[in-house]
Amino acid sequence: MLRDYWRVPRDAGDPIGEELAGWGKIALLETTGRITGTKVQSAVGFVERDDGDLCIAAGSDTADWALNLRAQPRCRATIGDRTVACSAHELDGPERSRALADLILKYGTPAERLGRGPVFRLESRLESRQGGP
C-alpha cells in the first residue's frame, strides 16, 4: 500500500513501512512472488481479531501482494517485534464486509477504496516466532 504512494524502488526496502510496522500501525506482509518465487515484502493495513488472526484488504484486484497470496497462501506478517507465519484465506460474504468496515474505521476514509480488491484473513500457524523476519 505505502509502496504505491511513494514508489519506493524494490531493492531500497520500505523505510516508512518498516517504521510504521515497528510502531504497530501497519503490518509488513512477506509473500512469495507468484512469478519470481522470491520473498516480497509489502506494508499493509490490518485489523486483529480476538483469536489473533489478521484481516487485510487490497484496494485493487491487481495488487501484487494479493495476487501472490492467491497463488501461494503461505506468508509471514510482522507487527512490532512479532513475526507470525500465516496461511491466507480469501474472504467473501458477511465476513468480508465486516473486515472491510473494521479496516475503514481503523484507518479512516482513505481506506474506503479497499472494497475494490480482495480481502484476506491471515490465520496464524504454529511456526510463529519473536523477532524480525
pLDDT, tens digit only, all 133 positions of the chain: 434 433 344 445 677 778 777 777 889 999 999 999 999 999 999 999 999 999 999 989 999 999 999 999 999 999 988 899 999 999 999 999 999 999 989 888 665 577 789 999 999 875 444 444 4
Question: Has residue 133 been placed in a domain?
Answer: no
Structural domain boundaries enclosing 72: 2-126
The residue whose grid cell reads 499493509 is 44
CATH code of the domain in which 23 resides = 2.30.110.10
Q: What is the pLDDT of residue 6?
A: 38
Question: Has residue 48 been placed in a domain?
Answer: yes
Grid cell at residue 43: 506494508
How many structural domains does the chain have? 1
Closest to 40 in 3D by CA, of 57, 65, 61: 65
Q: What is the pLDDT of residue 111?
A: 58
Q: What is the pLDDT of residue 11?
A: 47
Question: Has residue 131 been placed in a domain?
Answer: no
Question: Has residue 132 been placed in a domain?
Answer: no
Q: What is the pLDDT of residue 48?
A: 93
Q: What is the pLDDT of residue 126?
A: 53
Q: What is the pLDDT of residue 112?
A: 58
Count the Cβ atoms, other than its own, within 10 Å of residue 87: 15
Q: End-to-end alpha-carbon separation of the chain, Å?
A: 19
